[in-house]
Structure 1
């Protein structure tokens, strides 16, 4: 009799065990989802500020744990590309420069978030900011860093040299620099980011467009090797030879420029917005606090250009193959939210257009010590900013142009030869 019921008992026992297993804690599934973020340590909020933001998000979202990794800007592109080779990828959220969106979108690295951007968000963020993260009508992230390179000067040094205002043209800068040198105020009046990195492209773009030139023509063909581009590069070389530009600039990136300027060893500098607070308001980082001013980026006399600079904006994107895309998107929304951007606006200004109007503008300019100066500087300079071509081959093309500029500045080639070689490489890349 017992043997007759044994199969039934076995089935009941199995069902009971399965139900108990179903009720057991699911540590992996129900625990916090880990969102790994890759960003840069160079411009925008400091790592300490970014860590504060992460802590606030983790506290407000106990089901999500954000872990953040910092690399230099120059390592960021290749770090992202390498991370995409693993499955799942090494990161869930990545900081993307506007010049990489076309390449990464074509490669399938980034999650299409077009449908996740509601109409209100779309309307409240600067229209130009969406151009950063959008490729062929598809949005791949949230704009985060609206930035341009700015022209900084040391008011005390200029006053000691007898000048009451900064130069409006690059020719005026040379003349003021000569006086500054003659008076022995500094050895090299200006420091640049001319190392063989994307930084030199940013400085070159400001000079190129400030001479009435452009990187590409209306048909997308390289135009930097025409007369305007060659003149800009030749001017760079001449300022080194004349002792106007610090010769070490050929190895500098932006942090090097900040350090030299903050030590009072340069009267002028070209850098991102973040330098203002560190150089002018932070005595732990600077020997020239209270002496730093903004001037509109100069242009070349006779170019018909009032000012020109580089648009260095960036966005945060979710990796398409991330197993935690929804959780990652929650963090991106939090990080780029209006409230967080306002709170950390000392080193990064909001992408939310409403902050620059009426009472909101008045509030923004009173948020901290920096914004009364940086907000007007942004409003004055950003309209003169220029984007680099949004093409899939930009990273390779940029490296060719970086090399060309380095070869010209170190006299391995003439400016014309160097730029012609880089232009030929761009044509080759276009044909692929």
Structure 2
């Protein structure tokens, strides 16, 4: 018995050593595999349905380079104002699920003023800023701070014209409002149904177009620094009078009051007009192989008074970081990747979007594919921004209502502008 009992301690020691080896092996194996098996951080953003194909390939590339980060793209409706509403609703409810905020230039001030966006100013350098188009960069700022980093869509308004008709009748592209009217009327007399197409429906597109005309007459809408309103000045009334007269004189079609960009694009593409104000997206459609005016169209800066600069309304999209994001550093990595030269080149070559990086406007491969980018680069040098104010949506709605009242001759241009100025001042006073 004694001998048998003395064997137990040795047996226990042997079992203990075996268990110790097994435990150490298990812990070592766990420590080795845990990082590889850990779930990646997930970043999410909302985007209109038609843009999902733009970002999917870039997301795949980013995730391949950053396996520790997963990006979830949430597909929203194809209308940008509804996408904006979805963002707003999520932020108002609190705990918004978005880390990245993909936003139009007109959303920046409202989102920043509401405290929904992180200030990116400390993350960027003057050298980075210098790489981007001035208007695209400035459009991401609110009260001197940067809240939106430019993405690959740098829209600007432009004047499309029938190059073949102007050449045939010996005209150069117009530089002034008077030139535009004269050429329109002369070529209408030669058989072209309409002279000048522009959006007149009560939408944001009409606001952007009017801002260009207003600037071309030397006027202004709202000074974002002082909140001064310039809609009831002589310049503003003259600008609106110009547009109303194109309707009265038959230079623009009566349907203009209900037209948006696409209605105008289709009319122009079917050879029904000499001039059209539109965004750059229209170029590829107008020059498609099936287009009746393919190869017959030029693009030019919007016109102005002789003593004024012709300015294009700056549009475009960019990236912000939600203040509710738990992963701001990873979100910033994604923004840098999506806005890089390589990423922008890929999107430009596949989808024809305007880049926000200056370097891509002189890239030989891109210019070979899109020769008109050289002129659009010049147009980008002289842009006008919609006012960066928190109440932008309401101010734009006021302007749209009174513009349309003048277009439909419910109010005179002067009465419309005086009323719009009064309501805008009341809005800004609260």
Q: TM-score, normalised by structure 1?
A: 0.81
Which residue of structure 2 lines up, in the alignment, with residue 403 of structure 1?
Answer: 401
Equivalent of 1:392 in 390, 393, 398: 390
User: 1:56 & 1:267 partners in 2: Cα distance?
Assistant: 44
Aligned ranges 1:42-191 → 2 under 5 Å: 48-62=53-67, 63-70=69-76, 71-118=78-125, 120-126=127-133, 128-144=135-151, 145-160=153-168, 162-185=169-192, 187-191=193-197
Rounded to whole Å, the distance in 2 between the matches of 1:40 and 1:180 is 40
CA distance in 2, matches of 1:248, 1:386: 27
Answer yes or no: is 1:198 the counterpart of 2:204: yes
Does the 8 Å CA contact 2:119/2:145 hold for their aligned counterparts? Answer: yes
Write the mapping of 1:161-310 to structure 2, written as runs, cut at 5 A. Answer: 162-185=169-192, 187-216=193-222, 219-280=226-287, 282-283=288-289, 286-301=291-306, 304-310=307-313
Does the aligned pair in 2 maintain the 1:365–1:372 contact within 8 Å?
Answer: no
Distance 1:300 1:372, change over 3 A: same
Q: Kindly indicate whether residue 345 of structure 2 is the aligned counterpart of residue 342 of structure 1.
A: yes
Cα distance change on mapping 1:128 and 1:154 into 2, 3 Å: closer
1:172–1:320: structure 2 CA closer, same or farther, 3 Å change rule? same
Say which SS state the counterpart of residue 213 (structure 1) adopts: coil
**Structure 1 residue 32, shift from structure 2 partner:** 4.3
Shift of 1:172: 1.8
| Greater CA drift, 203-212 or 59-68 | 59-68
Distance 2:259 2:44 in 1: 30
Question: What is the deviation of 1:41?
Answer: 7.2
- Equivalent pairs counted in the alignment come to 396
SS at match of 1:151: strand
Cα RMSD, aligned residues only: 3.0
TM-score by length of 2: 0.82
1:336-366 deviation line (CA, Å, top 9, x unaligned): 111111233353333334445xxxx2xx143
- Is the 1:74–1:198 contact (alpha carbons within 8 Å) kept by the matching residues of 2? no
Q: Which residue of 2 aligns with 1:373?
A: 372
In the aligned structure 2, how far is the partner of 1:122 from the partner of 1:211? 30
- Aligned to 1:94, what secondary structure does the other structure show? strand
Give unmatched runs, 5+ long, in structure 2. 1-22
Deviates more, 1:138-147 or 1:228-237: 138-147
Distance 1:258 1:124, change over 3 A: same
Matched with 2:423 is 425
Bigger Rg over Cα = 2
CA distance in structure 1 between the aligned counterparts of 2:118 and 2:381, rounded to whole angstroms: 30
What stretches of structure 1 of length at least 5 have no aligned partner?
1-15
**Inter-CA distance 55–264: structure 2 relative to 1 (3 Å threshold):** farther
